Structure 1
Amino acid sequence: MLLPWQEIDPETLDNLIESFVLREGTDYGEQERSLSAKVADVKRQLQSGEAVLVWSELHETVNIMPRGQFRG
């Protein structure tokens, strides 16, 4: 189920994004990026619609994924 990011408390949204960024362990190549820069990137992707917040009833978790990968 999609969760509208606009309806999430801003502090909670920041915490969700930070948790997502920390668990992804993405390699950014030679130039490492700061946590705040990574969080800002994900927030921009949510705002532009490139990424979505997804609630899993089965696992009772929230995840962030590219819109094209969400199969609702």
Structure 2
Amino acid sequence: MIIPIDALEGDTLYSLAESFVLREGTDYGAEEVELEVKVQQVLDRLKSGEAVLVYSELHESVDIKRKEDIEPSDTAE
């Protein structure tokens, strides 16, 4: 199920984005990007609709996915 970002408190949304970034692992790019910058990039994508919050009843967890990567079952209410 997709969770609207405005259904969450700002601190909760930030924590979800931060957790998502920390799970992504080590940055091997040409330039290292600060954690706060990466978190802001994720938040920007959520706010623009490029990414969505998806709740999994099976795993009782929330994940962040690119909108084009969500499964039809993710949209079920």
Same topology, TM > 0.5: yes
Q: Which runs of 5+ in 2 are unaligned?
A: 73-77
Deviations 1:11-64 (A, max 9, x none): 011001000000011635110100100000000000110000000000000000
2 CA distance for matches of 1:28 and 1:45? Answer: 21
Matched, 1:58 2:54: no
Asked if 1 retains the 8 angstrom alpha-carbon contact of 2:51 and 2:65, the reply is yes
Larger Rg: 2
Instruction: Give the TM-score normalised by the residue count of structure 2.
Output: 0.88
Match of 2:71, SS state, is coil
Instruction: Give the TM-score normalised by the residue count of structure 1.
Output: 0.94
Cα 1:33–1:56 change in 2 (3 A) is same
Q: Which runs of 5+ in 1 are unaligned?
A: none
Q: Match of 2:25?
A: 25
Asked if 1 retains the 8 angstrom alpha-carbon contact of 2:21 and 2:39, the reply is yes
Q: Match of 2:7?
A: 7
Percent sequence identity over aligned pairs: 51
RMSD: 1.1
2 CA distance for matches of 1:28 and 1:50? Answer: 23
2 CA distance for matches of 1:71 and 1:14? Answer: 24
Q: Which amino acid aligns with 1:48?
A: S
